[in-house]
Amino acid sequence: EAFETIDIWINNAGIGHPQQSAWEINEITTRKVIDVDLLGLVFGTQVAVKGMIEQGHGQVYNMEGFGSDGTVRPGMSVYGAAKRAVRYYTRTVIKETKDTAVQVGTLSPGIVITDFITDMYRDDPGGFEKSKKIFNILGDKVETVTPWLAHKVLKNKKTGSSFKWLTPGKAFS
């Protein structure tokens, strides 16, 4: 209301689940992850795109996560499936908005050390200890990743853009 238009909309809501096998994740947790990570993003995108088409401009970015590229890891079944669906959904919306003034893209922050990650290991301290080495090598702080992503978004002028913080080259180095 204060600014009258929305220029940039980022769907960043997401939750994980305990690092368990697919059949061990209870129904409530499964539904919650799908509701937040996929349906929340779908509904957010619908609202944003409709409003941006009406106002004649705007950018929508959907946050990808582990599994969006098809990578599979035990213990990440529901979260990874939701993020894989996010990529498909976003690619479809990119095609559907091609003849509009709305740009749609994705953001991929890589491993950002927040409560999101540590909460997934709440009931598995041993698993967290095993993963800590990878987090220490590949993980980054919010204060490092966020300005980089924001800069990329603000400079972007085309639809279908995908901004990835943790690239294979960066991970290798």
Alpha helices in 56-103 (DSSP H): 77-96
Hey, how many other C-beta atoms are within 10 angstroms of the C-beta on 31?
12
Catalytic site residue from 79, 88, 89, 121: 79
Encode 159-168: b = buried (16+ Cβ within 10 Å), e = exposed: bebbbbbbee
**Contact between residue 73 and residue 103 where contact means Cβ atoms under 8 Å apart:** no
φ, ψ (nearest 5 deg) of residue 140: -135, 165
Q: Is residue 61 annotated as part of the catalytic site, yes or no? A: no
Residues β-bridged to residue 59? 8, 103
d(CA 121, CA 116): 9
Catalytic residues: 79
